[in-house]
Structure 1
Amino acid sequence: MATTIKGPAIFLAQFAGDAAPFNTLPNITRWAADLGYKGVQIPTFVSSLFDLDKAAESQTYCDEVKGICAQSGVEITELSTHLQGQLVAVHPAYDSQFDAFAPTEVHGNPKARQEWAVDQMKKAAVASRNLGLDVSVSFTGSLAFPYIYPWPQRPAGLIEEAFAELARRWKPILDVYEDHGVDVAYEIHPCEDVFDGVTFEMFLEQLKGHKRCMINYDPSHFLLQQLDYLAFIDIYHERISAFHVKDAEFNPDGRQGVYSGYQSWENRAGRFRSLGDGQVDFAGIFSKLAKYNYDSWAVLEWECCLKHPEQGAAEGAPFIADHIIHVTEKAFDDFAGGSTDHAQIKKILGL
Structure 2
Amino acid sequence: MPNQSTGLRGPAIFLAQFIGEEAPFNTLEGIARWAAEKGYRAIQLPTIDDRFIDLRKAAESQAYCDELNALCENAGVVISELSTHLQGQLVAVHPAFNDVFDDFAPKELHGQPQARTEWAIEQLMLAAKASQRLGLTAHATFSGALLWPFVYPWPQRPAGLIEEGFNELARRWTPILDAFDQAGVDLCFEIHPGEDLHDGASFERFLAAVDHHRRAKILYDPSHLLLQQLDYLGFIDQYHERIGMFHVKDAEFTPNARSGVYGGYQDWMERPGRFRSLGDGQIDFSAVFSRLTQYGFDGWAVLEWECCLKDAEQGATEGAPFIEAHLIQPAGHAFDDFASVSSSRSRNRRILGLSSTAD
TM-score (norm 1): 0.98
Report Cα offsets for 1:167-214 as digits up to 9, x if no partner.
101011111111111111000000000000000000010100011110
Match of 2:357 in 1: none
Match of 1:30 in 2: 33
- Alpha-carbon distance in structure 1 between the residues aligned to 2:237 and 2:319: 25
- Alpha-carbon distance in structure 2 between the residues aligned to 1:342 and 1:317: 50
Match of 1:270 in 2: 273
SS of match in other structure, 2:328:
coil
Q: What is the CA distance between 1:46 and its match in structure 2?
A: 2.2
SS of match in other structure, 2:139:
strand
Instruction: Say if 1:138 and 1:187, in contact at 8 Å, map to a contact too.
Output: yes
Which letter does structure 2 place at the counterpart of 1:110? P
Match of 1:187 in 2: 190
Instruction: Say if 1:8 and 1:298, in contact at 8 Å, map to a contact too.
Output: yes
Q: What is the CA distance between 1:47 and its match in structure 2?
A: 2.2
- Alpha-carbon distance in structure 2 between the residues aligned to 1:281 and 1:150: 33
CA root-mean-square deviation: 1.2
Instruction: Say if 2:220 and 2:246, in contact at 8 Å, map to a contact too.
Output: yes
Q: What is the CA distance between 1:58 and its match in structure 2?
A: 1.0
Report Cα offsets for 1:46-96 as digits up to 9, x if no partner.
222111111111111101100011101111110000000000000000001
Asked if residue 66 in structure 1 is aligned to residue 69 in structure 2, the reply is: yes
- Alpha-carbon distance in structure 1 between the residues aligned to 2:146 and 2:177: 19
- Alpha-carbon distance in structure 1 between the residues aligned to 2:290 and 2:351: 35
Instruction: Say if 1:188 and 1:196, in contact at 8 Å, map to a contact too.
Output: yes
Match of 1:233 among 231, 236, 259: 236
Question: After the TM superposition, which residues 78-93 of structure 1 pair with which residues of structure 2 at under 5 Å, given as runs?
Answer: 78-93=81-96
Runs in 1 of length 4+ with deviation above 2 angstroms? 341-351
Distance 1:172 1:342, change over 3 A: closer
Asked if residue 198 in structure 1 is aligned to residue 170 in structure 2, the reply is: no
Any gaps of 5 or more consecutive residues in structure 1?
none
Question: After the TM superposition, which residues 36-75 of structure 1 pair with which residues of structure 2 at under 5 Å, given as runs?
Answer: 36-75=39-78
Q: What is the CA distance between 1:260 and its match in structure 2?
A: 1.0
- Alpha-carbon distance in structure 1 between the residues aligned to 2:299 and 2:156: 43
Match of 1:282 in 2: 285
Q: What is the CA distance between 1:345 and its match in structure 2?
A: 3.4
Report Cα offsets for 1:81-129 as digits up to 9, x if no partner.
0000000000000001000000001000000100100010000001000
Distance 1:27 1:348, change over 3 A: same
Q: What is the CA distance between 1:267 and its match in structure 2?
A: 0.6
Instruction: Say if 1:12 and 1:40, in contact at 8 Å, map to a contact too.
Output: yes
Match of 1:178 among 165, 176, 181: 181
Asked if residue 336 in structure 1 is aligned to residue 339 in structure 2, the reply is: yes
User: How many residues are aligned here?
Assistant: 350
Report Cα offsets for 1:293-319 as digits up to 9, x if no partner.
001100000000110001000100010
- Alpha-carbon distance in structure 2 between the residues aligned to 1:298 and 1:278: 18
Seq. identity, %: 62
- Alpha-carbon distance in structure 2 between the residues aligned to 1:3 and 1:101: 34
Q: What is the CA distance between 1:3 and its match in structure 2?
A: 5.7
